[in-house]
Each structure stands twice: as structure tokens, then as C-alpha cells.
């Protein structure tokens, strides 16, 4: 077993785990039972993702890098031209003034 990822939380770990499995590697999550005690946020580095075959390390790290890059590139917010509010990228309509947002215009 080889550790390839320190997750921020269990969801994060699960996503990386699924990516690795989709890439044809055997992966496991460790530390998931240590989180969430008494409703407190766990410290980072508690939940980790491991691969069972160390010879897959380079492939696993490349996959994780790609996964993190694609997550960073997601649009965060769009600017509403009507009222000037920032609207989350996954809404196509302004939450404030109900104008339609055109992503191409910004």
C-alpha cells in the first residue's frame, strides 16, 4: 500500500478514490472513521487515499493532478450586468434581480 493523497475531508477523499478506480487502479480510503466525532471538523491529513500497487504511483499522481486542475478551473462566479451582483457559476439567472446572465459577456 502506498499513500498518494492527503484529503481535506471524506468527500474529497471519495472523489479521488473514485478517480483512481475509474483509472483502473485499486484504491482505498484510510481514516474515514476518525472524522466527524462530536460534529467537529477533523484536522486535515486525517483522511488519506492509498493505492494497493506501488508501481502505479506515477499514474495515480498524474490522475490526481489532473483531477485537482479540473476542479480549480471550474467557474466560480459570473457578474450580473443589470444589478452588479456576483452570481455563482452554476446559476444562469441572477439571484438578486432575476436577470438572465450571459456567461460570454461576463
Shortest Cβ 87–Zn ion spacing (Å)? 7
96 binds Zn ion (CB under 5 A): yes
C-alpha–C-alpha distance, residues 95 and 80, integer Å: 10
26 binds Zn ion (CB under 5 A): no
Part of the chain binding Zn ion (CB under 5 A), chosen from 11-19, 31-39, 40-48, 75-83: 75-83
| Residue 55, phi then psi, degrees to nearest 5 | -70, -10
Shortest Cβ 104–Zn ion spacing (Å)? 17
Label residues 62-80 b or e (16+ Cβ within 10 Å = b): ebbeebeeeeeeeeeebeb
> Which residues bind to Zn ion, rule: CB under 5 A?
80, 82-83, 85, 94, 96-97, 99
Amino acid at each position: 500500500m502506498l499513500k498518494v493523497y492527503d484529503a481535506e475531508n471524506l468527500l474529497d477523499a471519495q472523489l479521488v478514490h473514485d478517480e483512481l478506480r475509474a483509472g483502473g487502479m485499486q484504491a482505498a480510503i484510510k481514516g474515514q472513521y476518525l472524522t466527524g466525532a462530536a460534529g467537529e471538523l477533523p484536522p486535515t491529513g486525517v483522511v488519506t487515499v492509498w493505492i494497493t500497487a506501488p508501481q502505479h504511483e506515477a499514474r495515480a499522481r498524474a490522475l490526481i493532478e489532473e483531477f485537482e486542475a479540473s476542479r480549480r478551473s471550474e467557474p466560480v462566479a459570473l457578474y450580473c450586468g443589470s444589478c452588479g451582483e456576483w452570481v455563482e457559476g452554476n446559476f444562469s439567472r441572477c439571484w438578486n434581480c432575476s436577470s438572465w446572465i450571459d456567461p460570454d459577456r461576463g
